[in-house]
Structure 1
Amino acid sequence: MSNATQSQTNITAGLQYQGLLEILVFSMMSTVPCCVFLFINITMLFTLRSKAVFRETSRFILLFNLLFADTVQMALSQILYLMAILRVRLIYPVCGVLAMLADLTNDISPLTLVVMSLERYVAVCFPLRHTTIITMRNTAVAIFVVWAFSSLNILTRVILLLDFPFEDLESLQMKDFCNNVALFLGPMSEHYDNAFTYFLFGSASVAITSTYIAVMIAARSASTDKASAQKARNTLLLHLVQLGLSLSSTVYNPILIALSKFVTRIVLVRIQNVFYVCIFIFPKCLSSLIYGIRDQTIRPVLINHLCCGLKLSVVPAKVQVST
């Protein structure tokens, strides 16, 4: 059994020391923010499909793809988290489907950030060719490649799982709660997952950093629109921050493994609950909040959609007072 799997087993065993009230409190601490963030993300997704300018602009299409993946990943993570809190143990096939879908959408985010960074690089460094390079067709091809590459990773993990002797198990019922670490049924799966994670985030970091440096160099050119270059630099810097937040989820299990050597099981469970909200839930909503507030085209439409319920409740009250 790997150290990561052992850590998850210890956390699961620690759940039995939690009282009903504490389980309820921690469940609410994660479920309430998750529901709020899901509402914001879904509203943002609806906003990006509400007007033709959003549906026909490459950067908004890429943003929709990023938000869609983050929203699905956040929903799946919360489902798996609640099942762990409620001590629901699944069978391996069902857990595999949920965990693989969560991993698929998790890989989409850094790859989409790379494509979005390249789009900003072309807009600043090749402004005259931007409309010919960044077309609807090329954007669709880029999104297809992102999903195909991520799906290839999932297919590879499934193939590695097939080598595990499931027939030797007494039952397909899992002994621990469902997560991606529980599916590391052999050393090859864990080694492959680590290698792919390092390759993915390393390549994404190099790509985004390179485009940021290229835009900085272009910004010094007299022929470059200074305001556009400055805005692109800020956007690329934002992409680096988002990539760092996505990368933070990969250190989740190593931190818990290290802490498990120094704290009790119940303390470890409490730390896990806090880390889950800060590392998994909160970063998945940042894209909606940042882009929704920062982009002057999206902001008024998003605010209108978020506040429409309030407006509907205020208007009748005014009418009643005037009569």
Structure 2
Amino acid sequence: MADNNTTAADGGSSSSLQQVNDRIIIVQVMNAIFIYIICLLIFTFFKKDTFLSNTRYIFFAHTLLVDCLYLIMTNNLLLLTYFSVTMPAAVCVFFCVLLCELTFVTPLTLTAMSLERYVAICMPLRHGELSTVRRAIHCILLIHSISAIQPIIIVSIFFASVPLGFYTQYKLCSAEMFIAHKWQRHLRSVIGQFYFLVMSITIVLTYVRIIAVAKEASENKKSLSKCRKTVILHAIQLFLCLIQLWCPFIEAAILPINLKLYNNVRFFDYIVFILAPRCLCPLVYGLRDEKFFLAIKYYVFFGTMIYCVNLKVYFNERLAMLHMCLS
């Protein structure tokens, strides 16, 4: 079946190859834009002491760091696969385990952020006690521990299923490489669906309660409208992140049917369920947050102007010294 599909794909016109090349270029441009925005937000976070002591911004910065690393790694693996560059299986194991963990870190961090907002709005008297920098760091470590459960289980089974000589072989890196038995795919599906269910229930219950309390307490319709829009954007982002957990199962079901359809679905999944949520994160917590937006605007405009002025003064001083030496 795969040979027939490959032959059919190779027998297509040259425009099909051009379409694939265009897709790669589109992905590179989008990745570059998103990574630049994320790096700008990370720089802004570390330049302000008030952000470093706020739990919500700590979670936000953690999400940005994870998303930046995730985008870089997925893009590199995409290019390696596109150009058919192989690597030792042992190196691929390391990259895939890290990617699998990062896949769960982002939605789990967003879930923690929703719980933090729940405490801030529904339990304001205990927010100062529960929402501390130390607790935020402990929560981040817990998030990474929970995220590592699935890759550890899958890799442990994989280690017990393949010979040692496998790790020195050069292969195209893919998460499907770790599926030595059919039941492993079912196990991965069960774990992913369990994560999906728990996070979905937590997010829905949390935000229903947040909106209800905000509606009762807020007399400012403008503030309430902004809160609702932020909640909607946050819910869309979380929904896309959670749907990403289902993408490998859908792609695995399509692969034996049609290779061209499989490639189209993978490109769609990458744009909608990987790049789009990482774009919404800066929008929800960066540009829509008044304090963060003002800090970004300062460093983008005034910070650049100050740097240019200092650079001009530096060059003028150097030119004056050079003129004195020559005279």
Which bin holds the TM-score, normalised by the shorter protein?
0.7 to 0.9
- Matched residues in 2 for 1:311 and 1:145: separation? 42
* 1:14-163 correspondence runs (5 A): 24-163=21-160
TM-score by length of 2: 0.80
TM-score by length of 1: 0.81
Give the match for residue 298 of structure 1: 292
* Cα deviation 1:266-310 (Å, max 9, x = unaligned): 464355334423332232222013322200001122234445797
- Matched residues in 1 for 2:147 and 2:254: separation? 31
Q: Is the 8 A contact 1:15 1:266 kept in 2?
A: no
- Matched residues in 1 for 2:277 and 2:132: separation? 30
Residue 197 (structure 2) pairs with residue 218 (structure 1): no
- Report the CA distance between 1:13 and its aligned residue: 10
Q: Is the 8 A contact 1:54 1:60 kept in 2?
A: yes
- Matched residues in 2 for 1:237 and 1:148: separation? 29
- Matched residues in 2 for 1:15 and 1:180: separation? 25
- Report the CA distance between 1:115 and its aligned residue: 0.9
- Matched residues in 2 for 1:67 and 1:13: separation? 41
Return the letter of the residue paired with 1:115. Answer: A
Residue 211 (structure 2) pairs with residue 198 (structure 1): no
Assess, with a 3 A threshold, how the Cα gap between structure 1 residues 58 and 97 changes in structure 2: closer, same or farther.
same
Give the match for residue 183 of structure 1: 178
Return the letter of the residue paired with 1:117. Answer: S
- Report the CA distance between 1:233 and its aligned residue: 4.9
Equivalent position SS for 2:47: coil
**Over the residues paired in the alignment, what is the CA RMSD in angstroms?**
3.5
Deviates more, 1:252-261 or 1:198-207: 252-261
- Matched residues in 2 for 1:266 and 1:18: separation? 13
* Cα deviation 1:225-256 (Å, max 9, x = unaligned): 45577655544433321111112323434444
Give the match for residue 276 of structure 2: 282
Equivalent position SS for 1:115: helix
* 1:247-262 correspondence runs (5 A): 247-257=242-252
* Cα deviation 1:30-89 (Å, max 9, x = unaligned): 111111111111111111111001111110001111111111111111011000111112
- Matched residues in 2 for 1:307 and 1:226: separation? 35
- Report the CA distance between 1:108 and its aligned residue: 0.5
- Matched residues in 2 for 1:83 and 1:75: separation? 12
Assess, with a 3 A threshold, how the Cα gap between structure 1 residues 259 and 113 changes in structure 2: closer, same or farther.
same
Deviates more, 1:202-211 or 1:187-196: 187-196
Q: Is the 8 A contact 1:99 1:179 kept in 2?
A: yes
- Report the CA distance between 1:16 and its aligned residue: 9.9
Deviates more, 1:137-146 or 1:302-311: 302-311
Assess, with a 3 A threshold, how the Cα gap between structure 1 residues 49 and 16 changes in structure 2: closer, same or farther.
farther
Structure number with higher helix proportion:
2
Give the match for residue 321 of structure 1: none
Deviates more, 1:148-157 or 1:135-144: 148-157
Return the letter of the residue paired with 1:59. Answer: R
- Matched residues in 2 for 1:15 and 1:184: separation? 27
Structure 2: which 5+ runs fail to align? 311-327
Assess, with a 3 A threshold, how the Cα gap between structure 1 residues 12 and 117 changes in structure 2: closer, same or farther.
farther
- Matched residues in 1 for 2:27 and 2:233: separation? 26
Deviates more, 1:138-147 or 1:211-220: 211-220
Deviates more, 1:273-282 or 1:301-310: 301-310
- Matched residues in 2 for 1:12 and 1:168: separation? 32
Deviates more, 1:112-121 or 1:178-187: 178-187
Return the letter of the residue paired with 2:282. Answer: S
Assess, with a 3 A threshold, how the Cα gap between structure 1 residues 15 and 218 changes in structure 2: closer, same or farther.
farther
Assess, with a 3 A threshold, how the Cα gap between structure 1 residues 297 and 257 changes in structure 2: closer, same or farther.
same
Larger radius of gyration: 2
- Report the CA distance between 1:119 and its aligned residue: 0.8
The count of residues paired between Structure 1 and Structure 2 equals 307
- Matched residues in 1 for 2:152 and 2:233: separation? 31
